[in-house]
Structure 1
């Protein structure tokens, strides 16, 4: 990952920590639920309708786009919206550009799973802060590893899987707005996942995260590098949720 991507991830994380901390009080009082449902294989939502990284392998699985169409509302019950994504332009690395009006240059196709590489940003200030006082964030970097320019935007599907058949948690989406981003070969963009890390009882530890790019049904699987989460799978407004790309 380029130095500009690392610096951008650090800046964005610093801004989000302040907002995400406000969700702690609401998130930690939500009722935990140990059950989880089967993940439907359907496309994730589209834009139209740090230095080190843990890289994903190209998975042939059709697991996991959003398990529910319901959106998370971090602002409910005293919480705050994290990552409003008000300005997508200029946040992508390299020569990637935000596509004005949700469009892209003629002939530019959407990014397909086979042409993308996913990784957790782990360098410098990119790791979740266990002392954030509640909610923190992690960033997932998506890189165009193909030979053609492609367009990507919207919400990815994120399914957290426990080990030993311990179930699947399909993350809800934030209410943040989004736009399309054009990635040239080698360019990267990212999205964040808000997390409520557990420090005791009611914890749930993912073994992996299954990332499904928007409008795709095949996924990329990442080993989960962070600590356990507060189990809020049954909550209406969980503090762990996914933000849009870009």
Structure 2
């Protein structure tokens, strides 16, 4: 009986750990300096300025090491779209591999979102900014130019998400 109880507690603890680990933002790679001297900019994708396509779109983000020392990133950044200071936090895709950035080197990640024309009755947000928190804690803000976005924060399978840095 005790063995069954211990097994059940172990399974419950493992489930809790898995749930917590997916909700925690990525951190700097162990033993590597965080990338705190970076420039972040939009760098392409399928999204068009002004938006309104009623499709899932992508916006590529470039991260450039503007410091004098190499740094490393691991995982997906946290991205919040803000409207009048009210955030919509995008889901982070799991995984990724260690990306080492020499001075001047670049990496990228993708912001995927459901563009919205406003005529479909969806609950939408009109982002003004994308607040990006890189693994390791460096925060940068980009002006959002891609139009309205369908709110997805409470969706069981969100269409708005961020890829790991590559």
Which protein has greater RCO, CA pairs closer than 8 Å, 6+ apart? 1
Is 2:160 aligned against 1:240? yes
- Report what 2:73 is aligned to: 152
1:44 to partner: Cα distance:
2.9
Task: State whether structure 2 residue 128 is matched by structure 1 residue 210.
Answer: no
Q: CA RMSD in A?
A: 2.5
Residue in 1 that maps onto 2:106:
188
Q: Distance in 1 between matches of 2:124 and 2:54?
A: 16
C-alpha separation between the residues in 2 aligned to 1:133 and 1:231? Answer: 13
Higher strand share: 2
Structure 2: gaps of 5 or more residues? 1-23
Is 2:54–2:114's contact at 8 Å kept on the other side of the alignment?
Answer: no
1:121 maps to 2:43: yes
Change (3 A) 1:119 1:244: same
Runs of 4+ in 1 over 4 A off after TM superposition: 129-133
User: How many Å separate the matches in 1 of 2:124 and 2:64?
Assistant: 32
Question: Who is 1:109 aligned against?
Answer: 32
For the residues of structure 2 that align with 1:158 and 1:207, how far apart are their CA atoms?
A: 13
Q: Name the TM-score, length of structure 1 as normaliser.
A: 0.51
Q: How much has 1:221 moved relative to structure 2?
A: 0.9
* 2:88 is the counterpart of 1:169: yes
- Do the aligned partners of 2:65 and 2:103 also contact (CA within 8 Å) in 1? yes
| 3-state SS of paired residue (1:141) | strand
Q: Report how far residue 120 of structure 1 moved.
A: 1.0
**Number of aligned pairs?**
139
Do 2:83 and 2:126's aligned partners in 1 also have CA atoms closer than 8 Å? yes
Partners of 2:67 and 2:35 in 1: CA distance = 9
**What SS does structure 2 have at the residue aligned with 1:109?**
coil
TM-score (norm 2): 0.73
Q: In structure 2, what is the Cα distance between the partners aligned to 1:204 and 1:132?
A: 15
| Unaligned stretches of 5+ residues in structure 1 | 1-42, 49-102
| Separation in 2, partners of 1:146, 1:214 | 16
Q: 1:227: Cα distance to partner? A: 0.9
* 1:230 matches 2:153: no
1:133 and 1:233 mapped to 2: Cα distance?
17
- Contact (CA 8 Å) 1:205, 1:227: kept in 2 or not? yes
Query: Partner residue of 1:26?
Result: none
The whole-number CA distance in structure 2 between the counterparts of 1:149 and 1:174 is 25
Cross-structure match for 1:7: none
- SS of 1:190's equivalent in the other structure is strand
